[in-house]
Every structure is written in structure tokens, then in C-alpha cells.
Amino acid sequence: MRTLIVISMLALAPLPAQRTLPSRAEVSAMEKSFDQRLQSFSIDTPIELLGLTRGLYLQGYGAVFTAEVNLVQTPGVSPFRPALTKDDIARVRAAKLKRIPELKNLMREMLVASSASMDRLPAEEKLVLGVSLYYNTWEDPAGMPRVILMQAQRRALMEVAANRQPRTALGSIIQVREE
């Protein structure tokens, strides 16, 4: 009788390949988390989120998230300020150049945090975060990326999240591409 019970329990138990994959609700929760982290990055000089983060799960590949941001809230042109001065434009550029490395660090931390949160994402699949940077027509984006794309295997990110690997290992774990 015990043998019959054990066999029936094993037959009903899900196989590793039948594991539930990330749901739309789980991906949506990560979208909201990314939005919140981008918006709360700095109270004094916030990153302007243009639209909401979008994510999707690609079976066999991983979870991909994209966002568009303006690194610095810029002064607008108005009847009282018909044009920006060269000093204003230079200040905006300097602020954005300073903010790019800060955004990259934030993106790395977001990937590590999401590896722990997306527990139904298979460990061998990837987490990808792409951020498009917005530039006004009057800005000179030379030398600055339009897109920063980071990706890493979830298993490696989880090792960092669990403190089994040092944060300094992120440089070799996360692949970064700028366009």
C-alpha cells in the first residue's frame, strides 16, 4: 500500500521541466519596482521617467525590461525664456555626463535585486535591462549613449544577491552594451 501511495505522489509531483514560468503579474511587479527605483533615485535631481517600464518573458531566454529616461530635468523654453543660454546647455550636459555612471550603477543593482525577486525565472536564463536616454534637440549628445543595455544570467546575479560572490564580480557577470 505504501508503495502505491509513493508512486502516485511521484506521478503527481511536477517535474523540473514542468516548473511554472514567470507570470505576467510577476513581470508587472518588476516593471513597477524598476519605475519606483528610477523615480526615487535622487530627490534633489530626479531622473525623469518617460513612460513606464515595460517587460516581457521570453521562454528559453529570460526576462527583458526596457525604460526611457531623461537623466536630468531640463529647463524649458517659454515666452519668458525664449532660448537657453550656452551656460544652461553646458550645465545640462555636465549633469548628464555625471549621471550616466550613476545610472549604470543603479541598473546593476536593479538586476541583482530582480534576480532574487523573480524566483520562477529559471536560473540559467537571463535578466536584461535596457534604458533609452532622451536628449532634447538643443543638446549635444556626442560621447553619450542613447541606449544602455545590461544582461546577465540569473544564477550569477543570485550569487551576488546572496553574498556568495562580491559586488565587484558584477563587472564580469553583467554584459554591458552602449549605443
**CA nearest to 163, candidates 112, 120, 99:** 112
Specify the pLDDT at position 7.
52
5 located within any domain? no
Q: In angstroms, how far apart are the furthest CA atoms of the chain?
A: 87
Please tell me the pTM assigned to this model: 0.86
8 located within any domain? no
What letter represents residue 151's amino acid? Q
**CA nearest to 150, candidates 135, 136, 171:** 171
124 located within any domain? yes
- Strand 62-70 relative to strand 126-133: parallel, antiparallel, unpaired? parallel
Confidence of residue 4 (pLDDT cuts 50, 70, 90): very low
4 located within any domain? no
93 located within any domain? yes
14 located within any domain? no
Number of domains in the chain: 1
167 located within any domain? yes
CA 129 centroid distance within chain: 4
Structure-block grid coordinates of residue 78: 517659454
The pLDDT tens digits of the residues spanning 18-69 come to 568 999 999 999 999 999 999 998 888 889 999 999 999 999 999 999 999 9
- Please say if the pLDDT value at position 9 is more than 60: no
**Which residues, in sequence order, are bridge partners of residue 83?**
none
**CA nearest to 124, candidates 172, 89, 170, 157:** 157
- Please report the DSSP string for 21-49 in residue order: PPPHHHHHHHHHHHHHHHHTS-SSS--EE
Specify the pLDDT at position 89.
93
18 located within any domain? no
Instruction: Give the range of the structural domain holding residue 38, as residue numbers without chain letter.
Output: 27-178
The pLDDT tens digits of the residues spanning 78-137 come to 788 778 899 999 999 999 999 999 999 999 999 999 999 999 999 999 999 999 999 999
